[in-house]
Amino acid sequence: MNILFAASELTPYAKTGGLGDVLAALPAALRGNGHSVSVVLPLYRQLHASLEGLQHTKLAVEVELGEQTLTARIWQAVSRDGVTVFAIERDEFFDRGNLYGANGEDYFDNAARFIFFSKAVVALAENLDPRPEILHANDWQAALIPLIVKSEQLPFKTVLTIHNLAYQGVFPARDFTLTNLPGFYLKPHALEYYGQMNLLKGGILFADAVTTVSPGYAKEILTEQHGCGLDGALMTRREALTGILNGIDAELWNPAKDKWIAAQYDARHLPAKEKNKDALLKFFKLSIGRQPLFGVISRLVEQKGIELILSVAPEILQQGAGLVVLGSGDAQYEAEFKKLAQQYPKQVAVSIGFDEQLAHRIEAGCDIFLMPSRFEPCGLNQFYSMRYGTIPVVHDIGGLGDSVRDGETGLKFRDFNTESFGKAVNTALKLFGDRKKWPVLQIRTMQQDFSWQRRVPEYEKIYQSLV
């Protein structure tokens, strides 16, 4: 099949979260199965600087945006995995320092930016030879694509993947004029949402198929508790909704081949993992002896359960354990972790920001990984942790609940509170102290297969049902 993915991120060229990782891996895995696959995203400043071989093509498409007609030049390159990458050029929209906003605020014109992007993607698809059969849109930034295809009765089938329902692309109703769609699309059966315009809602209602990133999350978002106001729309499409657990790039996240870690190892050479712990402790100038080292790699926001980590940290630190944190987010959480590092300078290290190489070193060097998300569509770090023999402690929710087997490949807690999380952490500490059980647990987690190759047939089934 011929599939065109549309998204706002692509690792390593333009990324803020897991969306970029999925777009780097899934198209490559589908290509490996013999499909013709390409990806289109905006020509951001950082994409222009980082994607080698990026050249503009002879193709340019005209896009109506309200009363304006704007030209989008199309650029093209090939990713490191051999996938064709198209980029939509419009400098006043995309030649900026960040993808979505700056200084904690969204860009004021995000509606215009991504309505323009969605329209340009459809125009590009019409001009490709051969034309794609499937347009696979991802998240709200590309969610207008299914509406455009339906409105113009174009010969494409559309799939929409929801990576995080909490982000929906809600804008004032006045921005609807930028879509140039007939007025009846700004009604409750389409884009209208409590007097505003909701791009993700429109995509959900008009895509031929809707997927999300774990079976557990697909069930949860049909409920009022986790539906983020769109449970009603999702219920009307529940027959078209499928949850497919994300995979990971098993070559990139492979401790036996990882060039960024101090010592390579696998399940048969587990003692070498200790060298990574020693190197990480030395790097951060920590001193905890043979006590366990906890790791956190996360956006420091409420969704990720950061308050639970902060609430149990004093207890585990008083027992002599260590804690390494990599991430950024809410200023309050950043400040509290920095304060913790000042109180326990030999046990706590905090790195604000994101560093891909350091993320690999933390996964390899830590013993236990903390991931108590309030909600989690899928999550990726629990996969990375298991791959590296670092035991995850996760909230039994969404993709975390789907991917971790309690007591077998990690530890889960059900109730989102300090007591429940604390019990799971204490269980991990006790297991760490059992020199017989702990290596068995590590080896079992490392033997799990979370590669994208296992997920490809599930996507192929959806595509084939449409074409």
383 lies in the same domain as 436: yes
Dihedral Cα 110, 113, 118, 120, nearest 10 deg: 180
**Do residues 304 and 373 touch, judged by C-beta distance below 8 A?**
yes
Residue-wise pLDDT for 385-417, tens only, equals 999 999 999 999 999 999 999 999 999 999 999
191 lies in the same domain as 315: no
Domain assignment present for 254 = no
**Do residues 89 and 56 touch, judged by C-beta distance below 8 A?**
yes
Domain assignment present for 255 = no
What long-range pairs does 427-433 form, CB within 8 A, spacing at least 24?
A: 428/292, 428/368, 428/391, 428/393, 429/292, 429/316, 429/319, 429/321, 431/391, 432/292, 432/367, 432/368, 432/391
Beta bridge partners of 393: 370, 411
Per-residue model confidence (pLDDT) at position 419? 97
H or E stretch including 331?
A: helix 331-343
Per-residue model confidence (pLDDT) at position 81? 85
CA 274 to chain centre: 29
H or E stretch including 297?
A: strand 293-300
Per-residue model confidence (pLDDT) at position 291? 97
Domain assignment present for 322 = yes
The residue length of the chain stands at 467
DSSP 410: B
Report the CATH number at residue 164.
3.40.50.2000
Residue 52: how many CB atoms within 10 A of its CB?
A: 9
Domain assignment present for 158 = yes
**Do residues 299 and 162 touch, judged by C-beta distance below 8 A?**
no
Residues of the domain holding 328: 270-449
- pLDDT tens sequence for the chain (467 residues): 999 999 999 988 998 878 998 999 999 999 999 999 999 999 999 999 999 999 999 999 999 999 999 999 999 999 988 999 999 999 999 999 999 998 879 999 999 999 999 999 999 999 999 999 999 999 999 999 999 999 999 999 999 999 999 999 999 999 999 999 999 999 999 999 999 999 999 999 999 999 999 999 999 999 999 999 999 999 999 999 999 999 998 888 999 999 999 999 999 999 999 999 999 999 999 999 999 999 999 999 999 999 999 999 999 999 999 999 999 989 999 999 999 999 999 999 999 988 989 999 999 999 999 999 999 999 999 999 999 999 999 999 999 999 999 999 999 999 999 999 999 999 999 999 999 999 999 999 999 999 999 999 999 999 999 99
274 lies in the same domain as 192: no
**Do residues 380 and 18 touch, judged by C-beta distance below 8 A?**
yes
124 lies in the same domain as 9: yes
Q: Where are the beta strands (DSSP E) in 109-188?
A: 134-138, 157-162, 170-172
**Do residues 278 and 290 touch, judged by C-beta distance below 8 A?**
no
Domain assignment present for 136 = yes
C-alpha distances (whole Å) from 416 to each of 52, 59, 280, 429 are 44, 52, 30, 20
- Residue 68, amino acid: Q
Q: What are phi and psi of 328, to 5 degrees?
A: -150, 165
**Do residues 368 and 427 touch, judged by C-beta distance below 8 A?**
no
- In the chain, the number of structural domains is 2
Residue with tokens 């340009």: 120
217 lies in the same domain as 304: no
- Residues whose CB falls within 8 Å of the CB of residue 22, separated by 6 or more in sequence, listed in order: 138, 161, 163, 213, 246
Residue-by-residue DSSP string for 358-382: HHHHHHHH-SEEEE--SS-SS-SHH
Domain assignment present for 265 = no
152 lies in the same domain as 19: yes
340 lies in the same domain as 355: yes
**What region does 320 belong to: left with phi over 0, alpha with psi -120 to 50, or beta?**
left
Per-residue model confidence (pLDDT) at position 104? 78
The C-alpha atoms of residue 421 and residue 226 are separated, in whole angstroms, by 20
48 lies in the same domain as 148: yes
Q: What are phi and psi of 454, to 5 degrees?
A: -75, -20
**Do residues 255 and 265 touch, judged by C-beta distance below 8 A?**
yes
219 lies in the same domain as 328: no
Q: Look at residues 245, 228, 200 and name the one whose alpha carbon lies nearest to residue 374.
A: 228
Structure tokens at 435: 């020199």
Coil, strand or helix: which one is 145? helix
331 lies in the same domain as 459: no
The C-alpha atoms of residue 243 and residue 11 are separated, in whole angstroms, by 22
Residue-wise pLDDT for 95-141, tens only, equals 999 999 988 799 999 999 999 999 999 999 999 999 999 999 999 99
Domain assignment present for 160 = yes
Q: pTM here?
A: 0.92
Q: Look at residues 429, 259, 241 and name the one whose alpha carbon lies nearest to residue 357.
A: 259
Per-residue model confidence (pLDDT) at position 333? 97
The C-alpha atoms of residue 467 and residue 459 are separated, in whole angstroms, by 13
Domain assignment present for 258 = no
193 lies in the same domain as 275: no
119 lies in the same domain as 230: yes
C-alpha distances (whole Å) from 404 to each of 115, 172, 253, 313 are 38, 40, 18, 22
